[in-house]
Chains A and B, each alone.
Chain A
Amino acid sequence: MNFLCAFLFAGVACLLAQIILDNTKLTPGHVTSLFTILGAFFAFLGLYEKFIQFAGGGATSIISNFGYMLYKGAYLGFQENGIIGLFSELLCYSSCAIAGVVVFAFVLTLLCKPRD
């Protein structure tokens, strides 16, 4: 049941993105930015927690999760450390994704030859 929810949630999000891509002049960059902002917006409304409870990996594997983690870091940072926490804890949870992708990309770029 969990897997079905994950499939449906991630699938519907990708379906919406594909419909936006096909029917407007927006590029993939626009669409991913839009979904990141939507993730932060749903986190602000308190809905993204429920999405994750409902869909598990389906909700954490799409790019909206990035916006959610940024919002969560900033909001919880304010609760702990006040205004400076907004800035210092903003990247707290999403650091995993950014650091991971930068490290892997750099190491693999060193190892692999560029294609033509």
Chain B
Amino acid sequence: MNSSQATDILSYDPGNFYDELFAAQGSVRPEQALLGDALSQMGPPELLARQQAAETALLRMGITFQVYGDEGKGERVFPFDLVPRVITSPEWNRIERGLKQRITALNLFVDDIYHDKKILKDKIVPDWVVYSSKGYLEPCEGMNPPLGIWCHICGSDLIRDEHGDFYVLEDNLRCPSGVSYVLANRMVMKRTLPEVFARMNVRPVADYPDMLLQTLRSVSPHTQGAPRIVVLSPGIYNSAYFEHAFLAQQTGAELVEGRDLVVSDGFVCMKTTRGLQRVDVIYRRINDDYLDPRTFRPDSVLGVAGLMEVFKAGRVAIANMPGPGVADDKVVYAFVPDMIKYYLDEDPILPNVPTYLCSREEERNHVLQNLDKLVVKESDGAGGYGMLIGPASTKAEQDTFADHIKANPRGYIAQPTLSLSRSPILLKDGTLGGRHLDLRPFVLYGKDIKVLPGGLTRVAMREGSLVVNSSQGGGSKDTWVLNQEGGVS
């Protein structure tokens, strides 16, 4: 690096964290030297100008989301940071193998739970863990989805500790969202830092819609002609509506709401200007509970009455199936390494974050004595809500959580407060500041299992914050997975 051109970025302090870009202060990781040089040479004014251009492009494209309880403010742009998060080829290969292993085991687990329950009979997972999970759906007992696949689209959340090791923080087997931001971020980044992007040999992500389409087609119950695929959305006021529309557009699927569908003569049909038309595959983006008021919540108006009967008759496929949410429960999560061992006879490639179950007395006591050190989460919580981050909490908050835990031990788990990795983001003054981040890769499970290279890097935009969720002010970065030969020039 030419030190005479060095600007502010080399004064960036990675702190006592694993930093994604810097190996140490003033020293960019060798695989990312091109990126470091480019940022350094551009300097604050140019970086700020490019950041501004990227934000304007995202706003005009309407790449927004809605925060619940915040309807008055309408749509918000998902905050975006122009410094990409880079993952090297060897790192990625391991993640990809780990994710494939994990989804295979999770899918076998879900199928087992709704059929023979061998893993319960063999006492690997206790009965109560499964039957007390809110995601366990009794009506799914005995259901047989095409190819035995329950979890077609999965988005597990990964984090990195202070040594740079990846862990799985949670699995999202119901309706993981965020993939449209991956594609949009990439579109914008190719315009924002084209000269760096061109030289870094980054693996493309643009084929995701095609992979998704193939996955959805592969589970169609009807083999004659091109299957008609729909994306079932709650509508334009849903927080992820942009994504629903985007995926429908990119895959050529119809974007439908529950009111557009009806069960007629034993098939699911959509109401069109040419009358009712049969639907073969439903990529649903509404919750399990709402899918079919006759099977699940009777008050639901978002779903389709009679859908599950059509499914059982083998006349429509649903992705993801209702039911896998049983494994999104954080108590069930704690058993995923055991599932991998049980079903695949392999050791987990990607480890879990160590988890204490408050329903076990010994572990509960440990948690209660260490509330100031641990992160406590609701077993069925999501979106960064209902959490206690021990080291950042007050005594009063700890006491409240202690009461919650004692009243409902099954409802809580605890994990050590990991020192999440950080990456620099561009601050308002044009300098760089370190912020914590995670990674949500997307896995598609059809005839084959495919993993989109990279995924959504979510970053806490507030200094010191460990919460990366978009609903709580988190932003995102483009994720660059380098090709084998990439990164070094």
- The answer to whether A and B come from one shared complex is no
Residues of A within 8 A of B (CB): none
